Amino acid sequence: MIETQLWRVDPEAADLENDPQIKAAAKCLSDGEIVAFPTETVYGLGGNAKFNDSVRKIYEAKGRPSDNPLIVHIATMEQVREICTEINPLAKKLMDTFWPGPLTIILPSRGEVSDAMTAGLSTVSVRMPSHPVARALILASGLPIAAPSANTSGHPSPTQADHVLHDLYGKIAGIVDGGETGVGVESTVIDATTTPMTILRPGGISREQLEEVIGPVADDPGLTRPDQAPKAPGMKYKHYAPEATMYLVPAGKTRIQELVAHEKNSDRRVGVLTTEENKKDFPQADVVLTCGRRSEPESVAHNLFAVLRNFDSQDVDVIYSETFAETGIGQAIMNRLSKAAAGRVIE
């Protein structure tokens, strides 16, 4: 056990880079320690990307397999040029349009960051977060910051400092608490070394938004085909799953009502993952949790991981979940839900 410090920071405060709490957290980072901090997507667990020991601490605290590379978080274009050998014109266009923001871009690496961080690959994934606390921390430390999501490997990503405390208390030097994150699902990961570029993980920036700027992009076939390994090593692992057995029910409300009614003949306790619009329609279920408004998919993304975590503190054995259209942020929502359900679907 190590002592985990808690720094509370108001993301709207002026001159965050010189805030004493941010400076204390930045000092930990430059001393080689690892620190969790909010980004606009989820909380990240940061360490000096150039220092093997810091990177090793990250893998160890999360229990993360060492073949799963980390994202480098930077705050300036100068830092990107230090890390990548070349930024092709389309990648530059993406940076100009979506940075700072929830887009991670894979480029050829200069070998400047730790080999442990890139898991020995010749590419490196780079992201410039827009969250003021993340930006201030990166600038105050003066370092490129390696940061995966700040959860125990396999758990839903943390969208609140409490989630980080739950998973990593006693294992990391500190947490910068900047309140709830905004987007709620992780950044989109796009491989800029292929033509056309390939989405390796759907996330905060939708396919439609990307295509508006650079034209057609491909989906990594490994995202949906069980016989093909995903190109982002992290996408092959079991992830986000609540303790109860979860099923997706694309047919929707009426079908879920039937399934819940049927469970009344079993001794299993049944949960329903639904939306504000439908929450009153499952009186027979033992636990009904909502993840936002169906009419506002952004609200679903924002709440999704907290709801999945919440099911673990409820006494349920099985969860039936509504599904969402795979357009816009819906592609990321459905990717996370299918993983949480380990691919189980009931027609």
Which residues are annotated as part of the binding site for ATP? 64, 123, 149, 157, 201, 240
Q: Rounded to whole angstroms, how far apart are CA atoms 37 and 81?
A: 24
Q: Based on the number of CB atoms within 10 Å of its own CB, is 126 exposed (0-12), middle (13-18) or buried (19 or more)? A: buried
Closer by beta carbon to Mg ion, 43 or else 98: 43
Helix%, strand%, coil% for the chain, nearest 5: 35, 20, 45
C-beta closer to ligand TXA: residue 42 or 244: 42
Q: Which is nearer to ligand TXA, 237 or 247 (by Cβ)? A: 237
Phi, psi of 220 (to 5 degrees): -60, 120
Give the β-pairing of 188-191 and 198-201: antiparallel
Q: How far is CA 155 from CA 44, 215, 237, 296, in A?
A: 14, 34, 11, 25
Q: Which two tokens stand for residue 334?
A: 């459905």
Using CB under 6 A as the binding rule, the residues of this chain from 51 to 90 that contact ligand TXA are 68-71
Query: What one-letter code names the amino acid at 284?
Result: Q
Min separation Cβ 189 and ligand TXA, Å? 5
User: Phi and psi at residue 135, in whole multiples of 5°?
Assistant: -60, -45
In angstroms, what is the minimal distance from the CB of 63 to ligand TXA? 13
Of residues 162, 178, 231, the one with CA closest to residue 40:
178
If one asks whether residue 206 binds ligand TXA (CB under 6 A), the answer comes out as no
Q: Which member of 22, 35, 39, 51 binds ligand TXA (CB under 6 A)? A: 39
Taking the complex as a whole, how short is the minimal distance between the CB of residue 278 and Mg ion, in angstroms? 29
Six token digits for residue 336: 């996370």
Determine if 218 is a binding residue for ligand TXA (CB under 6 A): no
Nearer to Mg ion by Cβ, of 231 and 263: the residue is 231
N- to C-terminal Cα distance for the chain?
46
Cα dihedral sign for 129, 132, 136, 137?
Answer: negative
- Which of residues 178, 234, 242, 297 is near ligand TXA by CB under 6 A? 234
Closer CB to ligand TXA, residue 80 or residue 147? 147
Which 137-196 residues touch Mg ion, going by CB under 5 A?
149
Q: Nearer to Mg ion by C-beta: 149 or 335? A: 149
Binding mask 133-172 for ligand TXA (x = CB under 6 A): --------------xxx-----------------------
69 binds, among ligand TXA, Mg ion, none (CB under 5 to 8 A by kind): ligand TXA
Binding residues (CB under 5 A) for Mg ion: these are 149
Binding residues (CB under 6 A) for ligand TXA: these are 39, 41-42, 44, 68-71, 102, 104, 106, 118, 121, 123-125, 127, 147-149, 186-187, 189, 200-201, 231-235
